[in-house]
Amino acid sequence: MGDASRHHYHKRVRELALRMYSNGMRAISRVLNVPLGTVFT
């Protein structure tokens, strides 16, 4: 029971971190006025 809830928690944290990371990259590219594709490559 505890393992399942912990796994679900980590999944939510990872999704949130990925969302924050992609949002941050988008904001940085907007500030630098660079297309998003060049940031990821």
List helix spans (H) across 1-41.
2-32, 36-40
As a residue count, the chain comes to 41
CA pair distance 6, 27, nearest whole angstrom: 31
| Gyration radius (Cα) of the chain, Å | 15
Name which residue leads in pLDDT, 40 or 27. Answer: 27
**Token pair in block for residue 13:** 């944290």
Confidence (pLDDT) at 15: 93
Q: How far is CA 28 from CA 1, 7, 20, 22, 33, in A?
A: 41, 31, 12, 10, 8
| Higher-pLDDT residue of 15, 33 | 15
pLDDT tens profile 4-31: 777 788 899 999 999 999 998 888 888 8
pTM: 0.52
Residue 38's pLDDT band, with cuts at 50, 70 and 90, is low
